[in-house]
Structure 1
Amino acid sequence: MENLIHPAHMLLSELDGFSVEIDVSRERADIVLNRPPFNVISMEQRDQLRLVFESLDHNSDVRVIVLRAEGEHFSSGGDIKGFLEASPEHVSQLAWNVAAPARCSKPVIVANRGYCFGVGFEISLACDFRIASDTVQYALPEQKLGQIPGSGGSARLQKMVGITRTKDVVMRSRRISGAQAYDWGVVTECVSDDELEKATDALVDELRKFSPLAQRTAKKLLNETEDASLTTAIDLEGHCYSRLRSSNDFREGVEAFHSKRSAKFNGT
């Protein structure tokens, strides 16, 4: 068994351009982009971010994951030179890596401020909740390089805002503010820059009050029925509802409601 080797062991030996902080007392993990001043995301970093999300998904001490950045900018995007150097096989994995927050069964919050361009925007779109500072500027500027978004950005954005607005953003490399993104339904909340951390903390604490099992079920159901017909979505919702009825968390929730006390969920 000691001869078994997996590339992930080496890949995570030294994190490239970000750090991970776990606060067990608050059941929270923070993935912090930290390559100042613009937090450019390298090709290797994308692989590492995927593996870290997968690791945190299996960490029983973590209920909620926060993706944030040091400094005044979330991320100006990817390492442009890295695209020319990367192999076709590596490039083909870009969308899979960036989709890691969506695949993660736990709630993922992203806190955005300043530049949020390219892959910075794409990975934010893959999160469940986007809290935006009023300083944020979102963009998919790949047209300026003779390219298109390659990590799911145009596809996710189109699902949220429709084809007309997506063409406006993608084909014109147009920037949108946090306020406009909120009006379009892209972000969950837009706050003043000095309130970004406070708003993120409040959402973490709110999500921790719910049943982990019900949260995982809701996320999986909503993700998997996004492209489904209404009939199929309602049918799947009913199956999920039925399964949760036999859970300890549902029993605890009902008993707490009738006892007029706060429920204490354990995720079973």
Structure 2
Amino acid sequence: MPTTYDFKNPRLAALDGFRVEIDAANERADIILSRPPYNVISMAARDQLRLVFEELDEDAAVRVVVLRSDGKDFSSGGDIRGFLEASPEHVSKLAWNIAAPARCSKPVIAANRGYAFGVGFEISLACDFRIASETAQYALPEQKLGQIPGSGGSARLQKIVGVTRTKHIVMRSKRISGRQAYDWGIATEVVADDQLEATVDALVQELREFSPIAQRTAKKLLNDTDDALLSIAIELEGHCYSRLRTSDDFREGVEAFHAKRAPAFVGS
């Protein structure tokens, strides 16, 4: 059964609007947004979320991180008044904090249902996999506040869907459904609302079957070459491939393949 995660960092002694659970048997950590009714993400929570991802990244017992929420909505976005009260220095760190899932070397899954607006959308875009319920609605509504997305939302979205669709979402503050997000390549999968948890559970188990070192390498390579020239990306891929050839996991994978058995990866 999942238990509350015991953090080392004293700044995480009292989490602001979310909790973290560890499922040791499944090598899984869940970050659960929990501020009823809409799971608004405060300025303090942004700082804490970064620290949480950094600490989970260092925990060898955690293989996969899941970002999800309580209730019918993932998150309606950030604390709007908090932007007026925050210092320029604090605001300048918003994108760095929300990019924590992308920097985490482990696979990170976002489970989205209901509203995923503003920073709720942005932090989901920083995850590796977005599993959307059919009730999911994504939006970057900052234009309605006389602002633009400030935590990487428009930049990440443009990489995924291109400038035309990003302008549609950002400049018109348009909502898109989970189904449309899947059709546009934003969501990894779209499932019935009552299948969201089961689909995430299955993905966690699938990812755990692979080599941890191969997963870390693939994630970093894909992130680092997202905006690289094709020739450079191919060159870096070759270097990563070469390094993995000397790993224990690659040897185990080859031996298991020829022995027609499941591999027992150790992450080295």
Task: Say whether the fold is shared (TM-score over 0.5).
Answer: yes
Rounded to whole Å, the distance in 2 between the matches of 1:267 and 1:178 is 34
For residue 203 of structure 1, report the CA deviation from its aligned partner. Answer: 0.2
Measure the CA separation in 1 of the matches of 2:12 and 2:203: 29
Residue number in structure 2 paired with 1:34: 34
Q: Is residue 63 from structure 1 mapped to residue 74 from structure 2 by the alignment?
A: no
Report how many residues are paired. 261
Matches within 5 A, 1:136-175: 136-175=136-175
Q: Distance in 2 between matches of 1:124 and 1:238?
A: 30
Match of 2:91 in 1: 91
**Cα deviations by residue, 1:33-71 (Å, 9 ceiling, x for unpaired):** 000110000000000000000000000110000000000
Over residues 95-131 of structure 1, what are the superposed CA-to-partner deviations in whole Å (9 max), with x where a residue is unaligned? 0000000000000000000000000000000000000
Give the secondary structure class of the aligned counterpart of 1:201.
Answer: helix
Report the counterpart of residue 4 of structure 1 in structure 2. Answer: none
SS of the equivalent of 1:32 reads strand
Alignment of 1:72-221 (within 5 A): 72-221=72-221
| 1:143-197 superposed Cα distances (whole Å, 9 cap, x missing partner) | 0000000000000000000000000000000000000000000010000000000
Tell me if 1:13 matches 2:13. Answer: yes
Task: Report how far residue 12 of structure 1 moved.
Answer: 1.3
Aligned to 2:258: 258
Superposition deviation, residue 11 in structure 1: 2.4
- Give the unaligned 5+ runs of structure 1: 1-7
Q: Residues of 2 paired with 1:135 and 1:151: CA distance?
A: 24
Counterpart residue type for residue 56 of structure 1: L
> For 2:222 and 2:56, how far apart are their aligned partners in 1?
21
**One-letter code aligned to 2:254:** V
Partner of 2:50: 50
User: Which AA in structure 2 matches 1:21?
Assistant: E
**1:44 corresponds to which letter in structure 2?**
A
Q: Which residue of 2 aligns with 1:247?
A: 247
1:96 counterpart SS class: helix
Aligned with 1:228: secondary structure? coil
Distance 1:244 1:60 in 2: 19
Query: Unpaired runs of 5+ in structure 2?
Result: 1-7
Determine helix, strand or coil for the equivalent of 1:172. coil
Q: After TM superposition, where is structure 1 displaced by more than 6 Å over at least 4 residues in a row?
A: none
Letter in 2 for 1:211: S
What amino acid sits opposite 1:203 in the alignment?
L
- 1:162 match: secondary structure: helix
Shift of 1:13: 2.0
Amino acid at match of 1:57: D
SS at match of 2:66: strand
Question: Following the alignment from structure 2 to structure 1, what is the Cα–Cα distance between the partners of residues 235 and 87?
Answer: 43
For the residue of structure 1 that corresponds to 2:109, the secondary structure is strand
Deviation at 1:83, TM superposition (A): 0.3
Give TM-score scaled by structure 1 length. 0.97
What's the TM-score, normalizing by structure 2? 0.97
Shift in Å, 1:10: 4.3
Q: Distance in 2 between matches of 1:25 and 1:202?
A: 14
Equivalent residue, structure 1, for 2:3: none
